[in-house]
Amino acid sequence: MKKVFKGPVLFGWIAILSLILVVGCSSDEEASSNGENSELMNDGKVNGELEIQYFVGGYGDSWWKEVIADFKEKYPDVTVTEHAGPNINEEMRSRWVSGDPPDVVYIDGAGSSETQMVEDGQLMNLTDWVKDVEVDGKPILESFIVDPAKYDGEIYSLPLVFDTWGTWYDEAWFESEGYKVPTDFESFMSTMGDIKEGEGIAPFVTTGQHPYYFLRGMLYPAFGAAGRDQLLEDVITGKEGAWTSEPVLEVMKKVEQMQKEGYIDKGFGALNHTQSQMNFLLHKNAFIPVGFWLPNEMEKDKPEDFKYGFIPSPMQDAGEPFAVVPDLRPLAIAEEADNPEAAKAFVDFVFTKEYATLFSEHTGAIMNINGVDLSENENVPSYLIEANAMINDPEQVQIYQKPHPMSADLETPISNALVSLMLGNITAEEFCQQAEEAAAEYRNSK
Amino acid sequence: MVQSKKQKYLFLAFCLIPTFVMFSIFTLYPLFSGLYYSFFEWSGASQDKEFIGFSNYIQLINDEIIPMTIVHDYFLVAAKVLGIMVLALFFAVALTQLKIKEAPFYRIVFFFPNIMSVVVIGILWTFIYNPSLGLINSGLQFIGLEDWARPWLGSEKWALPSLVIPSVWAGIGLFMLMLMGGIANVSKSYYEAAEIDGANEWQQFWKVTLPLVWPQIKISILYIVITTLNGSFIIVQIMTGGGPNNSTHVMGSYLYEQAFVQYNFGYGAAIGVMILILSLVTVLILQFFMRRERVEY
């Protein structure tokens, strides 16, 4: 028996005891932190600490700073703690995992997924509460440009930012060289042909490291135009037969045509988000599909004579209006928020026309509130005024709505197959087959 | 005597406890945690997790990407071992045995990439490989070889081989210094004896230098294998993100994608366990094949 505590065996015991100690300590910490959480629950008044998590990307953070400062002025008893930055979703992950999340979260940027958060039960069900919220005296549910995403009929987040993916070009360059701005797929191909011939470049670029840019920026509008909301819903939810359906194959044939004509930059597969945008600014390419964040994000790198031009991605057939599929960035309250009253007060506070106007001025993008007039606003960039006018004109643009973002489990394999198609390694038919297989796998995994 | 033995153990325990504690916190605990989570279906972003037994391991066996990532990993291992060892040995011999005046300068030059972060190296080479603005394609065009220019990192065929060059470039210096140390310890008398016996320089290298620096070569190979299997993730993540179309995914980058992009943390943990097992098996096999009696003259 004594041998068990002697010699090298003793050191083994020490190691095991240390391990138990470490595991034990971490369990204690969890318990104590949960205990603290329950004590912090307040009595329904708007006071105490309010923690807000927001991603800072292309839109910057100046709008948030202004809104939060105004909120603090209105609610002086609330102490606001901001968790913000380009990597905030990763930095705050352990807080969410340990059940100690911030109260309010703006869901955007890498490492965030609204669908996943809803599936994990991390977001508060706002369905009943939101019915009483008003924007400038009008029910909020009647004030959105695009309605909130619904999961089994329930609302877990409110769409704050109305972004949409479209196709960008340099308006000044097009004017000086006489290139026509495309209005449909036919004219898109024709303009790309002119540019290829005139400039000796592949006119179209996107990021191959994040192929979902092409999926969201080009294919979603194309699917919307080809099969309306129903087709969008079917491809996003991976419905059986959707990816091999006739309208999807027709869209993919268009992509194949772009590749075969040599209009897609052969190097796109290697480019990341910033590199593809730099290529575009340097006129190595003429068209790029990204969201409204582009001008704000690349402000410091923009050549002086460059003028941003924006059109919804021209994938629709001639005679059809442009198709726009909004990409909404929502604001939500954590299910386990320590201060739900202050969180609700903040969400209520943010959705006003005043802050919507400020949002466009600060970020060059649109907040998801209708009836905001930007046409005479000198602080809003011209491309946004034009885009806003275009988006609000149903004769020019038809808005199609996806039910919710596509799950990463489906988006990743489809994006990978898309790269192969755009590199010319597979045909449109083969792509559809691969996408259908990925959808089948996704359905089986649910 | 008994007292002094007790004191000795107490002293040893006093010295080793901090090490054990640190080892437990930073190695054993994550290791067992990874193993534990590999039996759960868990997004890694919430407290909501479900015990699913060996399902993640069954999925791992049926996953079509996994064999591809293993092949990529071992391709990088083979290319790096070959590239680094040949070049490091060549430069080590050149800088120790040839009377080059600028040897100290070259030593610094070759070692320089080792003090750079892998992230910086990845970004630097991404610029070099850039299809339209990069140094390689521009250089090829300049010397009239524009047909050879291609989207190196954007091609499913060329992306993985393209990752070898920065990996080798970044690794030469360290192993060159290790081998130089080994070569410096070889007594000059062996070379004098070999010369008297009529051995030329090439024969001296094969018969004297190589056998006597074998311990350093063996350690270097093992080190390259371990660091490649566990660490090639960074350069892949920076330069290609595993693309295009999974053509550069290694086990580590696939683990990252599953755990942190697709929110399959439990499955990611199972891939981590697989990496550990494969690394251990590889090292054991290598040690078996590289065992060799110590050469003494």
pLDDT tens digits for A95-112? Answer: 998 999 999 999 998 788
Instruction: Provide mean pLDDT across the span A307-336.
Output: 94
Q: Which residues, including other chains, have CB under 8 Å from residue A25's CB and lie 6 or more apart?
A: none
**Residue A414 CA to its chain's centroid (Å):** 18
Given an 8 Å threshold on Cβ–Cβ distance, is B21 in contact with A420? no
pLDDT digits (tens, 9 = 90+) for A129-154: 999 998 888 999 999 988 898 888 89
Structure tokens, B96: 């120790």
Distance CA(A132)–CA(A116), nearest Å, equals 27
From residue B158, alpha-carbon distances to A222, A256, B60, B134, B252 in Å are 31, 22, 27, 15, 20
pLDDT of residue A188: 98
In angstroms, how far apart are the furthest CA atoms of chain B?
83
Distance CA(A68)–CA(A71), nearest Å, equals 5
Nearest chain B CA: its distance from A6 CA (Å): 9
Distance CA(B221)–CA(B235), nearest Å, equals 19
Structure tokens, A37: 């959480």
Distance CA(B31)–CA(B33), nearest Å, equals 5
Bridge pairing between strands A48-55 and A104-106: parallel
Are the C-beta atoms of residues B244 and A206 closer than 8 Å to each other?
Answer: no
With a cut of 60, say whether residue A42 has pLDDT above it.
Answer: no
* Rg for chain B, CA atoms, rounded: 24
| Interface mutation target, options A19, A335, A407, chain B, most CBs of B under 10 Å | A19
Quick check: A440 contacting B, CB < 8 Å?
Answer: no
> Considering only residues 107 to 126 of chain A, which have any Cβ-Cβ distance to chain B shorter than 8 Å?
111, 113, 116-117, 119-122
- Nearest residue on chain B to A112, alpha-carbon basis: B261
Distance CA(A332)–CA(A134), nearest Å, equals 16
Q: Which of A268, A46, A25 is nearest to B154 (CA)?
A: A268
- Nearest residue on chain A to B49, alpha-carbon basis: A120
H/E stretch holding A308 reads strand A308-311
Instruction: Provide mean pLDDT across the span A190-214.
Output: 95
Quick check: A47 contacting B, CB < 8 Å?
Answer: no
Quick check: A445 contacting B, CB < 8 Å?
Answer: no
Given an 8 Å threshold on Cβ–Cβ distance, is A419 in contact with B243? yes
Nearest chain B CA: its distance from A196 CA (Å): 15
Query: Dihedral (C-alpha) A397, A402, A406, A410: value to the nearest 10 degrees?
Result: -90
Q: Spell out where chain B has E strands.
A: 40-42, 49-51
pLDDT of residue B226: 93
> Considering only residues 280 to 309 of chain A, which have any Cβ-Cβ distance to chain B shorter than 8 Å?
282, 284
Which residue among B45, B150, B154 places its CB closest to the CB of A116? Answer: B45
Q: Which residues, including other chains, have CB under 8 Å from residue A275's CB and lie 6 or more apart?
A: A207, B126, B130
pLDDT digits (tens, 9 = 90+) for A158-184: 999 988 899 999 999 999 999 999 999
Mean pLDDT of chain A: 88
Given an 8 Å threshold on Cβ–Cβ distance, is B126 in contact with A14? no
Q: Which residues pair with B80 in a beta bridge?
A: none
Are the C-beta atoms of residues B31 and A15 closer than 8 Å to each other?
Answer: no
pLDDT of residue A36: 37
Query: Helices (DSSP H) in A200-245: which residue ranges?
Result: 212-214, 220-237
Q: Which of A164, A157, A112, A109 is nearest to A351 (CA)?
A: A157
Entry pTM: 0.81
With a cut of 60, say whether residue A15 has pLDDT above it.
Answer: no
Distance CA(B158)–CA(B190), nearest Å, equals 45
Quick check: A211 contacting B, CB < 8 Å?
Answer: yes
Which residue among B13, B25, B263 places its CB closest to the CB of A14? Answer: B13
With a cut of 50, say whether residue A34 has pLDDT above it.
Answer: no
Given an 8 Å threshold on Cβ–Cβ distance, is B29 in contact with A271? no
Q: Which residues of chain B have pLDDT under 50?
A: none
CB pairs A-B closer than 8 Å = 141
Q: Which of A119, A107, A108, A102 is nearest to A154 (CA)?
A: A119
With a cut of 90, say whether residue A24 has pLDDT above it.
Answer: no
pLDDT of residue B294: 64
**Token pair 């045509």 is at which residue?**
A257
Residue B107 vs residue A191, higher pLDDT: A191
Confidence class for position A33, pLDDT limits 50, 70, 90: very low
Q: Which residues, including other chains, have CB under 8 Å from residue A54's CB and lie 6 or more apart?
A: A61, A64, A82, A83, A84, A88, A105, A106, A108
Which residue among A14, A279, A423 places its CB closest to the CB of B244? Answer: A423
Structure tokens, B139: 């250089």
pLDDT digits (tens, 9 = 90+) for A355-388: 999 999 998 888 999 888 888 888 888 888 888 8
Centre a 10 Å sphere on the Cβ of residue A167 and count the other Cβ atoms it contains. Answer: 24
With a cut of 60, say whether residue A428 has pLDDT above it.
Answer: yes
From residue A42, alpha-carbon distances to A33, A69, A98, A249, A389 in Å are 16, 23, 21, 56, 45
Q: Which residues, including other chains, have CB under 8 Å from residue B22's CB and lie 6 or more apart?
A: none
> Considering only residues 58 to 97 of chain A, which have any Cβ-Cβ distance to chain B shorter than 8 Å?
90, 93, 96-97
Q: Which of A405, A404, A406, A434 is nearest to A418 (CA)?
A: A434
pLDDT of residue B297: 62
| Interface mutation target, options B9, B56, B132, chain A, most CBs of A under 10 Å | B132
Q: Which of A100, A158, A165 is nearest to A129 (CA)?
A: A158
Confidence class for position A17, pLDDT limits 50, 70, 90: low
